[in-house]
Chain A
């Protein structure tokens, strides 16, 4: 049996239906994301221990003094996770936002206009994609320094080309649709069509992908940390903490599992919230 999603039933009654309730899980997700962001932003003023202080006992279990225990150097894990949130979330969101701004624009233009514009843009994208990301990342952090800004730029630039291709693919499917043809027949300008017909439709699968991309960016930063190309110590990042804990997996799995769990929860929350919002607002337009 193929039950159709409620939104797909195109009847007038549906258009007048009450908006769906957002649900407990949605609020849990929002709550978690808000908690993480608040902790990250106000970490300096909240009573959180110094994440770099190496005073306490090593590899302690969670206690009143150390909410999530300590790591191999005696640093408070809770503090490190919170301070790491700052870096990781910034890297994740900023890099993808940049990637979407540049790559998304390229993709929509290429997918909509086709022809020569498409070929030129995609040639540039191909060169960027064929270029080894590692050499590029290494070049950036070497010349501009290994700090938060440059790691973000590196990941952003690396994400431009894949995002461009995905957005273009999505645009291709919509650009040929009847409603676009209809709009054009009615005399709408290209800019209007892009902004009002294409973008809203493309935004849905791309929006879903964006949250994944954020997660990929955060994990990707850990991949850079694997090679020693990420933010300088002792700054903590989620990806970096997960990577550092790798050698201690058998005896002290906490060191990797705690940042992983936090990353998991955050990514899950973001996606659930995003999904719920999307289905809440994505009521199929019934009128012709």
Chain B
């Protein structure tokens, strides 16, 4: 070898060794911020008029048609730029009139009357009248997407006069106003219904902004509605919503200044951003309502999970604290039932099993003897996400200690929901039950929606329990708060003993933003009560936000 090539090889060898060493030595744990978070302080400064806000969202949405396009958190954020809902939740956990001037009921709660505010115009100049509300709701009653929640209970929606609509129920429906917020509550012009093919991309609403440009996958730009019915709002001249699917990329965009504000439910991001000195953040932990839970959903119609001992053993074998500290970096709150803790009106002691490995082993031994089997095995499914796989690997090893052997099965996202609907699963990694009010969980827990395996069923766990049905009905029909609380707490206690769901943690959503964004907190609804910072799931209204 020539002298130069000898030098070259030596150099290459050194580089290799150094980089290996660097890789081996680098990456030690940074000192973490203080427990209360080291992020930028929240400002109480009032928003000033003018300016543009750019928000990074977690996915592109299907469209702006509430009867055709499913609206998750992102969809609701998009929709609330161009629409207003009839009602809105306040910080007190109750529904207040928003676009509606008043929301009243008759003595038996079988009729709800919604009165609209006068002199409000749609973005196309048409006046807002009760006919639009009636047309919208009749479309919802026929929509394959939105009818399941109301079908059978909402009988008719009729016009009383130009500004009043009446909702007639099949029976008492006390928490009905809940459905006047969110996807079903948005009021859109009846003209959209005449052109369903193009409606998703051509919204006509009364909202604070008007759709200017929407390039799918790139951005959605909406500009200030000059004739908005809430005087002085919106503060912003325009908003831009950008879908950035990769959480890490979204986080980098915020730090780099490409976007002003973002939302996320990813614990890694939440941890990083809450301690970042140049970023302010709020979470929905304390918001009134029921937090979404993360749990393992068990198919109670399929052996061995049809035996309550096995299900209870799974709960006893799950060290929730260890999991939260390992997988969720200690960020997520613990969960022992379907009702969240901090902001919930229905949270109570459920008696759900705490970590007790011996008890788990005993239950499994008892099951094996009773059934005459030598092992307990089933499939634990999750989606094709790296972190979920890590998560389920930990579950797998925890349950193995109790003598339960699971194999992990990764499933495509689109097949995942289908399998859950069809009952084609044993145990599934699942997130659900985040609602402002438990009545919205009716369709998931009722035995009316639990079909046998092989047929589509919204009650994925196929859990049929007459006591739960009774409690759900009580929660829907009783006007007495204490009775409702007792009913729902009863459901939580049944879940704790029957264990159709192995609770893991509560999901929290974070809204992280540059300090120049003002007005996210401490705003008031039209009736002067305090508005909620953001709803469960991170949705919020952009009408009261500004950039200073």
Contact = CB atoms under 8 A, between A and B. Distances in A.
Interface string B1-14: 10000000100110
A21 B397 CA distance: 53
A229 interface: yes
Contact of B410 (A62, A233, A268): A233
A25 B9 contact: yes
A244 B326 contact: no
Contact of B408 (A25, A232, A247): A232
Nearest to A253: B27
A24 B389 CA distance: 43
A74 B1 CA distance: 45
A228 B393 contact: no
Contacts of A73: 326, 390, 393-394
Contacts of A23: 1, 9
A21 B19 CA distance: 29
Interface stretch (A52-60, A119-127, A159-167, A171-179): A52-60
Interface centre among A58, A253, A261 (most CB of B within 10 A): A261
A250 B26 CA distance: 11
Given A233-B393, A261-B20, A251 B29 contact: yes
B9 A261 contact: no
A227 interface: yes
A180 interface: no
A251 B30 contact: yes
A288 to B, nearest CB: 31
Interface string A35-68: 0000000000000000011100011011000001
Q: Which of B24, B28, B272, B326 counts the most A-chain CB atoms under 10 A from its CB?
A: B24
Contacts of B247: 247
A55 to B, nearest CB: 9
A25 B13 CA distance: 9
Counting chain A CB atoms within 10 Å of each CB, which of B27, B272, B384, B393 scores highest?
B27
Given A23-B1, A54-B394, A73-B326, A252 B27 contact: yes
Interface string B351-389: 000000000000000000000000000000001111101
Contacts of B272: 250
Give the interface centre of B29, B386, B387, B392 by most chain A CB atoms within 10 Å: B386
A234 B393 contact: yes
Given A254-B26, A265-B20, A243 B386 contact: yes
Given A24-B9, A265-B16, A68 B326 contact: no
A54 B397 contact: yes
A234 B397 CA distance: 11
B119 interface: no
Interface residues of A, number: 44
Contacts of B27: 59, 251-255, 257
A69 interface: yes
B23 interface: yes
Given A253-B26, A258-B23, A261-B20, A233 B268 contact: no
Interface string B248-276: 10000000000000000000100010000
Interface string B27-42: 1111000000000000
Contacts of B215: none
B106 interface: no
Interface in B299-329: 326
Given A233-B392, A251-B30, A58 B326 contact: yes
A28 interface: yes
A52 B392 CA distance: 12
Given A62-B24, A251-B30, A257-B26, A228 B19 contact: no
Interface of B: 1, 9, 12-13, 16, 19-20, 22-30, 247-248, 268, 272, 326, 383-387, 389-390, 392-394, 396-397, 408-410, 412
21 contacts: A28-B13, A62-B25, A68-B24, A72-B326, A73-B326, A73-B394, A227-B384, A228-B383, A228-B385, A228-B410, A233-B390, A233-B393, A234-B408, A246-B248, A248-B268, A253-B26, A254-B24, A254-B27, A255-B27, A261-B19, A268-B12
Interface of A: 21, 23-25, 28, 52-54, 58-59, 61-62, 68-69, 72-74, 142, 146, 225, 227-229, 232-234, 243-244, 246-248, 250-255, 257-258, 260-261, 264-265, 268
Given A142-B412, A255-B27, A260-B23, 13 more contacts: A24-B9, A69-B24, A73-B390, A225-B386, A228-B383, A228-B384, A228-B412, A232-B408, A232-B410, A233-B390, A233-B392, A233-B408, A234-B396
